[in-house]
């Protein structure tokens, strides 16, 4: 190649000389300047900072999520109303007068009166306690029972997994509301109806879902490297389950439990509406909805307010579950 020739103008050799060897040709490649490439900001990693744990990264994502903030504020409001109803209403929900029956709004009674002359706003405020108690305690018992059974079945496997799986299938085959209706008709439950009987009934048919979720998460984590490392250091099998497998399997359980809490509140309201849940002496949104159905045509606002409180509460827990799922599920992260 002469000095005046560029790499792009290489003179081809005769065909005879090219036989038996590969012809090479210089090709220039264009590389964009580094400062003009936006990937340097996206892929930049801080070497000096410590890596965040799963929970720390989830919290960083949650505190920037408007869905989580709104749902958390609504849930905190409902919890405060349930614990301290006197802070939100100075009127007694049992101070009823037939002279005010089905009356509209009045000074100090922003939601009017029901068919018995009771203040609707006060009953909505004081009725939150029973509904929230049923939802919270049912969720706690379901997570404990279903979590233990699912963790044992998923970690040990074998005959224990088969027995617990078949037991869960028996209860899982019955719908929640239908099974609760049948159990609440039994004499021991029918004659002593209270929030705790409703909690026990819903727990009986609610634990299989948590058990399945827990079992799947435990099966996924039981063969992880950190579990095998703990076992090689002398940790017992049960100790590895409690200290390593279960804590790393809680994320999907928390998501399902937060959504299920709203489901159990609806289940209590449904049973009370059918006259099978809480007794009429206990103030709850379900009982108020059931009692106000006779006024749905003449005065629908009596039905609207407890139904709206129930809907907002359930929607808040569903929104919280969606936000937790987006933060705790690595596949759902952007």
Residue 250 lies in a domain: yes
What pLDDT digit, counting tens, does each position of 279-325 carry?
877 888 888 888 887 777 777 788 888 889 888 998 998 888 888 88
Residue 144 lies in a domain: yes
To the nearest 10 degrees (0 to 180), the angle between helices 301-328 and 66-83 is: 130
Identify the domain containing residue 290 by its residue range.
54-97+117-332
Structure tokens at 320: 């919280």
Which among 91, 33, 113, 73 has a CA at the least distance from the CA of 302?
113
Strand intervals (E) in 68-140:
none
Residue 295 lies in a domain: yes
For the ranges 206-215, 238-247, 274-283, the maximum mean pLDDT occurs at 206-215
Contact 317, 71 (CB under 8 A): yes
Reply yes or no on whether the pLDDT at 165 is more than 80: yes
Percent of the chain with pLDDT over 90: 6
How far apart CA 222 and CA 154 sit, in angstroms, is 8
Most distant pair of Cα atoms in the chain: their distance? 117
Residue 218 lies in a domain: yes
Residue 46 lies in a domain: no
Residue 8's pLDDT is: 46
Which among 143, 180, 139 has a CA at the least distance from the CA of 270?
180
Contact 326, 334 (CB under 8 A): no
Residue 102 lies in a domain: no
Arithmetic mean of pLDDT, 89-100: 74
Average pLDDT of the chain, as a whole number: 79
pLDDT class for 7, splitting at 50, 70, 90?
very low
Which of the two residues, 95 and 147, has the higher pLDDT score? 147
The number of domains in the chain is 1
pLDDT class for 145, splitting at 50, 70, 90?
very high
What pLDDT digit, counting tens, does each position of 40-80 carry?
555 555 555 566 666 677 777 778 888 888 988 999 999 99
Residue 29 lies in a domain: no
pLDDT class for 137, splitting at 50, 70, 90?
very high
What pLDDT digit, counting tens, does each position of 196-233 carry?
889 999 998 888 889 989 988 888 888 888 888 888 88
For residue 90, give the CATH number of its domain: 1.10.3720.10
To the nearest 10 degrees (0 to 180), the angle between helices 250-273 and 120-156 is: 140
Reply yes or no on whether the pLDDT at 180 is more than 70: yes
Residue 50's pLDDT is: 63
Structure tokens at 108: 């100090």
How far apart CA 61 and CA 57 sit, in angstroms, is 6
Residue 22's pLDDT is: 52
Residue 12 lies in a domain: no
């Amino acid at each position: 190649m002469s000095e005046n020739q560029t790499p792009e103008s290489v003179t081809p050799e005769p065909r005879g000389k090219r036989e038996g060897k590969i012809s090479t040709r210089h090709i220039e490649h264009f590389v964009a300047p580094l400062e003009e490439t936006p990937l340097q900001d996206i892929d930049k990693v801080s070497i000096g900072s410590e890596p965040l744990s799963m929970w720390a990264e989830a919290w960083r994502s949650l505190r920037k999520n408007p869905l989580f903030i709104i749902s958390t504020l609504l849930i905190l409001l409902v919890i405060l109303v349930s614990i301290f109803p006197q802070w939100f209403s100075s009127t007694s929900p049992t101070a009823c007068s037939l002279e005010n029956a089905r009356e509209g709004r009045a000074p100090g009674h922003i939601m009017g009166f029901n068919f018995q002359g009771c203040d609707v706003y006060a009953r909505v405020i004081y009725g939150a306690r029973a509904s929230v108690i049923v939802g919270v305690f049912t969720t706690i018992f379901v997570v404990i029972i279903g979590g233990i059974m699912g963790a044992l079945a998923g970690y040990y496997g074998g005959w224990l997994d088969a027995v617990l799986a078949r037991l869960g299938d028996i209860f899982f085959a019955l719908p929640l509301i239908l099974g609760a209706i049948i159990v609440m008709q039994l004499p021991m439950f029918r004659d002593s109806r209270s929030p705790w009987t409703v909690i026990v009934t819903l727990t009986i048919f609610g634990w299989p879902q948590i058990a399945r979720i827990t079992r799947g998460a435990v099966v996924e984590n039981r063969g992880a490297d950190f579990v095998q490392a703990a076992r090689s250091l002398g940790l017992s099998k049960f100790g590895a389950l409690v200290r390593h497998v279960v804590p790393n399997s809680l994320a999907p359980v928390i998501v399902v439990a937060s959504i299920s809490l709203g489901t159990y509140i609806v289940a209590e309201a449904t049973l009370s509406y059918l006259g099978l849940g809480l007794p009429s002496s206990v103030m709850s949104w379900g009982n108020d909805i059931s009692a106000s159905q006779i006024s749905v045509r003449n005065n629908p606002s009596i039905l609207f307010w407890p139904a709206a409180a129930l809907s907002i509460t359930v929607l808040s827990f569903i929104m919280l579950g969606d936000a937790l799922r987006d933060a705790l599920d690595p596949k759902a992260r952007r």
